[in-house]
Chains A and B, each alone.
Chain A
């Protein structure tokens, strides 16, 4: 089994963190996992993306040329990433900041206003977790409970952040139904 996931966004949107979170959670399920980030020199802003490859056999190349799942946090180079979607691939799009409305034939598209939803929950930074919830609804790489467990292990950050993130996960999961 092979799952290649690309998460793309702007620096500060938590794309790289989300990739790490997914890699850590999947470690109990897949024997081989690679994760690698690609970001510019900026701490905030600028393009930032990462790739997670989960496989039942040895992973030669950690760079996925095609994606079985794509999470688009913003518009930057969105069309380029969509072109990388493998047949039957799934694109989850943050419609608050990304205007992709269709994907090539044979691929699936799930749109949710993740940034707006995260804003309502009290933390715009949790948009990445909303997206994870939506992805898991359509591509259960691992259980929601497993995702929750990893989120609980994240550095706590601001007070109340953990609760918001847990709600964001559920909200994304429900909204993507």
Chain B
């Protein structure tokens, strides 16, 4: 299965009832898979007339209480930012997938990681966050999508699966989820027809005195809760490492190989691989930064997660960076070379203090 297909099948097995999407490379296998599978299983598939329409259809379906998803790639996700902000404002659960490609602009159809800022710093307007999950394999494309639906329903937030063209188009054998879909919580706020009850209202326009301020505090409470409960990350060989690689998505996968190669050359290297980019594994990174000699961030961009790592390392260890923008996927050898070139930081010479007599 390709990563795109594994993700699509994950959504179906997670109980996704409605899919809306507009084709774009490198995620077309996903839309194609949904176009065949959703109607065949009695669910909704609509190829929308644009990305704006797709995200608005997701809004409508989510407001009606359905599990809904849209998918696109970088330029298409840019078009959806308004809708994402509205979903967050209206507290609607939804899953949005970005199989990133090179940018800015139409860029290229090659894999890239240039949308980190847009995803984790909320690309739309207003004080909101999405949960952002970063798969590194075809299996994780499948598993994290199922997890995304659980999180979306649990917290009433949009959840983004942030993949890239490499993982989307790569094929690997996987184990499909066989259990039931994640339990769907009751949705008393949903627009399900007001027979026998007062009408519900789903909106993000709150103009009453202090209403929007209070609403924002509710959102922030929710985000605090997510930060406490939902951080996920993987580690490799961190217990004794002197150099800590920090990487996500495709780069994390390459970095796993680099850890082995560098250790074979006698260099004590470890890897921290955030699975949730928001919430970021902040405490874990702080703790590791306090005991390693160097940090090396590797991304397929010009330094985006880098800024979070620098912020969290707080100068405890130097943070180095290796970036590959514009749709270029680095090789293990290139990253290994950067790792091997790192030297322990020169320590600040301490003033000698003579023994007191």
Min CB–CB distance B163 → chain A (angstroms): 13
With a cutoff of 8 Å between Cβ atoms, the chain B residues found around residue A61 in the complex are 253-254, 257, 331-332
Q: Which of B25, B166, B171, B333 has the most CB of A within 10 A?
A: B171
Which residues of B pack against A, CB within 8 Å?
25, 109, 166, 169-173, 253-254, 256-258, 260, 329, 331-333
> In the complex, which of the residues B170, B254, B332 has the most CB atoms of chain A within 10 Å of its own CB atom?
B170
Residue of B nearest to A57 (CB): B260
Interface contacts (Cβ under 8 Å), in number, total 43
Contacts of B25 in A (CB 8 A): 41
Complex Cα distance A34/B169, Å? Answer: 10
Across the interface, name the chain A residue whose C-beta is closest to B168: A36
Kindly state whether residue A11 has any CB partner on chain B within 8 Å: no
Sample of 16 more A-B contacts, CB < 8 Å, known A23-B171, A61-B331, A61-B332: A27-B173, A33-B172, A35-B170, A36-B166, A36-B171, A41-B109, A60-B254, A60-B256, A60-B260, A60-B332, A61-B253, A61-B257, A62-B170, A62-B253, A65-B331, A65-B332
Chain A residue nearest in CB terms to B260 = A60
Q: Which residues of A contact B173 (CB under 8 A)?
A: 27, 33
- Docked CA distance A60–B273 (Å): 13
Contacts of A35 in B (CB 8 A): 170-172
Per-residue CB proximity of A111-144 to B under 8 Å, as 1/0? 0000000000000000000000000000000000
User: Which residues of A (14-57) have their CB < 8 Å from a CB of B?
Assistant: 20, 23, 27, 32-37, 41
Contact between chains at B169 and A37 (CB < 8 Å): yes
Chain A residues near B (Cβ < 8 Å): 20, 23, 27, 32-37, 41, 58, 60-63, 65
Query: Quick one: closest B residue to A52, CB to CB?
Result: B171
Which residues of chain A are near B254, meaning CB under 8 Å?
A: 60-61, 63
B165 → chain A closest CB, angstroms: 9
Nearest residue (CB) in A for B108 is A41
CB distance from B334 to the nearest CB of A (A): 9
